[in-house]
Structure 1
């Protein structure tokens, strides 16, 4: 039985799941697992005091003992609030505040390590490039240090310090495990580098669900997108497609990053933004539409994306339409997914998906998803820890 300490960018009370928490859940079947979630900044804390999440972080900040939450068998440590740093340019003051933040989080972690008598552990920094040097402040013996790279860093806010910090995190690690081959290739010349693809909780999505009446009533031919509504989506393509086909209805479900969403698509009568959903609600939402879609831009950064939603969609058996945002991922499964190789081909892909009558294709999607579970991914990940 291993002690596995994971520094996560995601948090235990996020609305949706993440690769970090899904892997940790699988690790915990035969190991002791602690996730150190990403701390709030003081700015986030003050903004969040109107809700439960903010008060949990306030308690963590004021408490003299580590605040622990549980996700199944996984212990989750909620660190105290730290100083915001991203507004600063790289230099003296950024370095000072960053080191102070590292010490604050490490103090909390070390208190827990001492209490639980963890003298040695495996350390995984799961894409938390904000704390590239945390390992240097932690007590005990780190048996192996992994940097888990799950996405390209492309947004201006994260690019500012993220690329440099991520390179430092990789430098500190013994090996890098990425969620896509193109991410892995980036680190091949720097550290031992491997790929462990994202997976799915197949049972969660494959179990029969009732449709959501409020969604089902939005139209006769429903095409749904489920996930963050942000930079990666090709909005121009969606506007053109759903203007051309007014009898189709687009359902956009998930948190909206307003700065990326054109006003034109919001005003279209056959496009509906239905807001956030929980992980438990997601399967029923997918079952409520006729076609599930991934309308990502075809761009260089998209080749590094391996979205959780692909296997989630496939687990339900629903017809899936996707742009060819990642050819390494999608071409091998072209017999299971309707692929739009260019924006002008999206009409054809959706039409084919709506008219799909082949039950064998549905079964192929479900069977393929069942072979790509988080349980399987966790075993591969642990094999790399053992090397």
Structure 2
């Protein structure tokens, strides 16, 4: 890694102890191998306080919420510490207008006040600031003097909560950043019209974790092991992105197979039919620790995202998690970029008929050589490789653009 010996502040959207792997915190951990990294997690709001005040999540942070305090949370990763912002006002319910922007500036002032205390206490002066997809606070660095401001854009705006103010806020953030790094080509094409220093670095996977599925001694996750074989599986959030019309046709055409949809379910998006079908199973959410044991039980792994403008800019982490476990993967052709990174090892389908045919072909032809090829492809798409690319971009701008 060319980027070495720097002080880096990363403002991420996920909380550091989230049970789900995130690009944001993984980036922080890997940059900390050669740099001193401080991870600011997404702030609690007053609404979060009343909702979570009795939970272990809140109790862990309780003594760190002080506006002017300098306490940090130590992590298991050397050179990586966590900053807990103060509790903020709940303002997202407001309409997009001057009142909302004034309230947002006040919240940003609170975070900035805490951050300034940390900067002073730990003598953090010549630092890089990375906003890792926390577009909710575009003005946080106003009044701060980082030597480089980076925005890491990871997904399109989809959820109503994010779109309410996020579209406007992200535009501000993209334009004022020195560097913008995008996780898909479509996002890159969009952002480079606003900021010429935009780059494309694709998502990846934690191969060291997903490859545990290759261990013969690892037992299959009980809820998957109990299903009739073959098991056709999906692991991830079960929500609006999935093409339920196509899936229903595929499931009806394959009554001899068990379809396991593993993950949190947003029932408002899932047609009632799926909950009554005899060969469809919803094991529910799992811990990240159990991911390899779940995938190990899949005979074929699915990515059934519907093809639309939103999905065309999604680069799903599960793609390389599946491949890293050696599993055959069948997906809808929702993002043309994925073919470049999978080198023919994944079948991308246009309709239910070809999707069903691909599942059956995978069941009939899967072998040790194919599994080895999949793992090799996944090994080319690790977080280590991606963060190395991000670090090189940052190093280039520090050495050639900021100080040519």
What is the TM-score normalised by the length of structure 2? 0.91
**Aligned with 2:298: secondary structure?**
coil
CA distance in structure 2 between the aligned counterparts of 1:109 and 1:365, rounded to whole angstroms: 44
**Aligned with 2:233: secondary structure?**
strand
Task: Name 1:122's counterpart in structure 2.
Answer: 128
Instruction: Return the offset for 1:7.
Output: 0.7
Correspondences of 1:57-206 after superposition (within 5 Å): 57-61=61-65, 65-69=69-73, 70-73=75-78, 74-138=80-144, 141-191=145-195, 192-206=197-211
CA distance in structure 2 between the aligned counterparts of 1:312 and 1:53, rounded to whole angstroms: 27
**Aligned with 2:146: secondary structure?**
strand
Contact 1:204–1:283 under 8 Å retained in 2: yes
CA distance in structure 2 between the aligned counterparts of 1:342 and 1:67, rounded to whole angstroms: 54
Contact 1:45–1:57 under 8 Å retained in 2: no
1:83-130 deviation digits (Å, cap 9, x = unpaired): 122211112321221011101111121111111110111111111110
Instruction: Return the offset for 1:330.
Output: 2.4
Q: Which moved more, 1:154-163 or 1:328-337?
A: 328-337
**Aligned with 1:136: secondary structure?**
coil
Instruction: Return the offset for 1:246.
Output: 1.7
Task: Name 1:300's counterpart in structure 2.
Answer: 309
Select the residue among 273, 284, 289 that pairs with 2:298: 289
Which structure 1 segments of 5+ residues have no match? none
Q: Which moved more, 1:233-242 or 1:376-385?
A: 233-242
CA distance in structure 1 between the aligned counterparts of 2:264 and 2:70, rounded to whole angstroms: 30
2:54 pairs with 1:47? no
Contact 1:147–1:175 under 8 Å retained in 2: yes
Q: Which moved more, 1:201-210 or 1:15-24?
A: 201-210
Task: Name 2:10's counterpart in structure 1.
Answer: 6
2:284 pairs with 1:275? yes
Instruction: Return the offset for 1:50.
Output: 3.5
**Aligned with 1:100: secondary structure?**
helix
CA distance in structure 2 between the aligned counterparts of 1:265 and 1:180, rounded to whole angstroms: 31
CA distance in structure 2 between the aligned counterparts of 1:223 and 1:2, rounded to whole angstroms: 46
**Aligned with 1:265: secondary structure?**
helix
Task: Name 2:33's counterpart in structure 1.
Answer: 29
Contact 2:68–2:117 under 8 Å retained in 1: no
**Aligned with 1:355: secondary structure?**
helix
Contact 1:324–1:341 under 8 Å retained in 2: yes
Which structure 2 segments of 5+ residues have no match? 397-404
Summarize the Cα distance change of 1:50–1:241 in structure 2 as closer, same or farther, 3 Å threshold.
farther
Task: Name 1:373's counterpart in structure 2.
Answer: 382
Instruction: Return the offset for 1:21.
Output: 1.2
Instruction: Return the offset for 1:368.
Output: 0.8
Contact 2:68–2:113 under 8 Å retained in 1: no
CA distance in structure 1 between the aligned counterparts of 2:63 and 2:349, rounded to whole angstroms: 49
Q: Which moved more, 1:334-343 or 1:240-249?
A: 334-343
2:218 pairs with 1:221? no
1:281-322 deviation digits (Å, cap 9, x = unpaired): 111110011111111001122111111111111000011111
Instruction: Return the offset for 1:385.
Output: 0.8
1:181-204 deviation digits (Å, cap 9, x = unpaired): 111111112211101111222122
Contact 1:340–1:346 under 8 Å retained in 2: yes
What is the TM-score normalised by the length of structure 1? 0.95
CA distance in structure 2 between the aligned counterparts of 1:17 and 1:68, rounded to whole angstroms: 22
Summarize the Cα distance change of 1:71–1:223 in structure 2 as closer, same or farther, 3 Å threshold.
farther
What's the C-alpha RMSD, in Å, of the aligned pairs? Answer: 1.7
1:7-35 deviation digits (Å, cap 9, x = unpaired): 10111121211111111111111100111
Contact 1:8–1:37 under 8 Å retained in 2: yes
Task: Name 2:402's counterpart in structure 1.
Answer: none
Instruction: Return the offset for 1:155.
Output: 2.4
CA distance in structure 2 between the aligned counterparts of 1:110 and 1:218, rounded to whole angstroms: 54
